[in-house]
Amino acid sequence: MGSVEAEDYVAGRRSRDMNRRDRLDSLLATRDLEAVWFARPNSFTWLTGGSNVVDREASVGIAAAGYDGESISVLTNSIEADRLGDEQLPAEIEISTFPWYESSLAAALADRSPQPAAADVEVPGFEGVDPGALRQPLTDADIGRYRDLGTDTAAVLEAACRDCRETTTERALAASLRGEFARRDITAPVMLVGGAERAPKYRHFPPTDAVLGDYALVSVTAEREGLHASCTRTVAFDSPDWLPDRHDAARTVDATALDATRTVASRENRAGAAGEVFEAIREAYDAVGWPGEWEHHHQGGAAGYAGREWIATPESEKSVALPMAYAWNPTVEGAKSEDTALVTEGGIEILTATGDWPRTEVEPPEGDGAIARHDVLYR
C-alpha cells in the first residue's frame, strides 16, 4: 500500500484519524490480518472523508479504502481514479487502479491486497468485517460535523413545515425538502410525509399525491459526509382532538429513551446493552397509557455513519457507547417524536434543533431530569 502514515493523511484531522487508526490496529492484531478494506459508501467515507458513490442504488461503491497497519490507500477502476484524486480524496492518499474492462473491484482486491485480509463486502478469500462496530463511538471531529448537519437538517425541515399549507400535497412538500437539502449538500435517504389521511393509519408514509389536510407528520433521515441525522416535525392546521395527547405520550417515551441511554451507558461496573434501554421504553409506553404500542414500529437506536448503526430490540446486546448519537423514534397512532441527540457522560445534546421550534421540557416517568422535546406546531 502507500507510504503515507494514517495519522497524517488528512491535514487538521489528526485526532480523528489516530482514533480510527487505533481501532483498525486493534482489529488487525486481534484477527491476525495484514489488511482491512471498506467498499460500502458509509465506511469508505468514515475512513477517508471522501465519497465512493456514483450509483446511489448500489450497496457497494466504485472504490475501496484499505488499511495495512501503516497507511491508507484506495483501489478503484481506471474510470474513477482521476476524479477521486481531484475531488474526493486528500492528495496524500495513494490511489491504485485496475482496468475497468478486465476485473471487478472484488477480484482486484483479492489479487492486490496483502493477505490474510478482511473486507466489508464479499471478496474471494477474504474474511468479513462489521464496520459498524469500528465506527462507534464518535470522535471529536465526527461530533463537530454532526452538529453542523443536525442544525442544517432541522432548519430545512422546520422551514418547509412552516411554509406548507393544508392544500400542499405530500409529494410537493417532499420535493421542496429535497431541493433545499441539495442546496446544502445533503441527501435524504429517508423522506416520509404523511398527511391527515395517512399518518394515523401507517407508521411509514412515503409521499403520495394526497393533500396534507388537517395535519402532517414529516420525518427525514439526512446524510452528509457519511453522517446521518434523523428528525420528525408535526404541523397542525386544524388539529385532531386526539393529537395533543398522543404527541405528548410519544415525546414522553422519547425523553425516557434518551434518559435511559445516558444512564445505561454511564454505568461503571459493566457496559450497558441496548436491550436495557428498550426495557425502559417499554415501561414508558405502559406509564403513558399505551401498553404494547412499541410492537407496531421499531423504536430507533444508535446513529452515525448509518441512519441506525443498530436498532434496539428487547433482547439486544448491542453496546450503548459514549459519546454517540442516538435517534429514538417512538410512535403513538398518528403521532411521533424523533430527533438525533448526542449523548455523552456530561449530558444530552439535541443535534437536530434550531431553537426556533416550540419545545417543552419533558420529565421521564423514572428519569433524572427534564429533557426538551419538540412540540406540535399549530398553524
CB atoms within 10 A of CB 200: 17
Using CA atoms, how far apart are residues 123 and 107, in angstroms rounded to an integer?
A: 7
Task: Using the Cα atoms of residue 306, residue 304, residue 126 and residue 16 in order, give the sign of their dihedral.
Answer: positive
Q: How far is CA 272 from the centre of its chain?
A: 20
Radius of gyration of the chain (CA): 22
Locate the domains of the chain by residue range.
Answer: 6-134, 140-378
Residue 348 · residue 326 · CB < 8 Å? no
User: Can 6-134 and 140-378 be said to share one CATH topology?
Assistant: no
Q: What is the pLDDT of residue 271?
A: 67
Q: What is the pLDDT of residue 268?
A: 65
Task: Using the Cα atoms of residue 133, residue 136, residue 141 and residue 143 in order, give the sign of their dihedral.
Answer: positive
Q: What is the pLDDT of residue 164?
A: 98
> Grid coordinates standing for 252?
414522553
Pairing of strands 117-119, 300-303: unpaired
* 3-state SS, residue 224: strand
The residues of the chain scoring below 70 in pLDDT are 1-18, 268-271
In whole angstroms, how far apart are CA 323 and each of 65, 136, 146, 150, 371?
25, 8, 12, 16, 18
Using CA atoms, how far apart are residues 247 and 242, in angstroms rounded to an integer?
A: 9
CB atoms within 10 A of CB 375: 18
Order across the sheet with 63-67: list the strands.
Answer: 94-98, 72-77, 63-67, 35-38, 117-119, 127-128
Residues 246-270: tens digit of each pLDDT: 999 999 999 999 999 999 998 766 6
Using CA atoms, how far apart are residues 266 and 7, in angstroms rounded to an integer?
A: 29
279-316 burial, b at 16+ Cβ within 10 Å, e below that, comes to ebbbbbbebbebeebbeeeebbbbbbbbbbbbbbeeeb
What are the residues facing 220 on neighbouring strands? 191, 231
Residue 143 · residue 59 · CB < 8 Å? no
CATH placement of domain 140-378: 3.90.230.10
State residue 135 phi and psi, 5-degree precision.
-80, 0
Q: What is the pLDDT of residue 269?
A: 61
CA atoms within 13 A on the CB side of 231: 29
Residues 102-146: tens digit of each pLDDT: 999 999 999 999 999 999 999 999 999 999 999 999 999 999 999
State residue 227 phi and psi, 5-degree precision.
-80, 150
State residue 224 phi and psi, 5-degree precision.
-150, 135
Q: What is the pLDDT of residue 93?
A: 95
Residue found under cell 476524479: 83
- Angle (CA) 161-167-171 rounded to 5° is 65
Amino acid of residue 185: D
State residue 270 phi and psi, 5-degree precision.
-160, 160
Using CA atoms, how far apart are residues 258 and 301, in angstroms rounded to an integer?
A: 10
Class of domain 6-134: alpha beta
Using CA atoms, how far apart are residues 231 and 219, in angstroms rounded to an integer?
A: 6
Question: What does pTM read for this prediction?
Answer: 0.92
* 3-state SS, residue 201: coil
Q: What is the pLDDT of residue 201?
A: 97
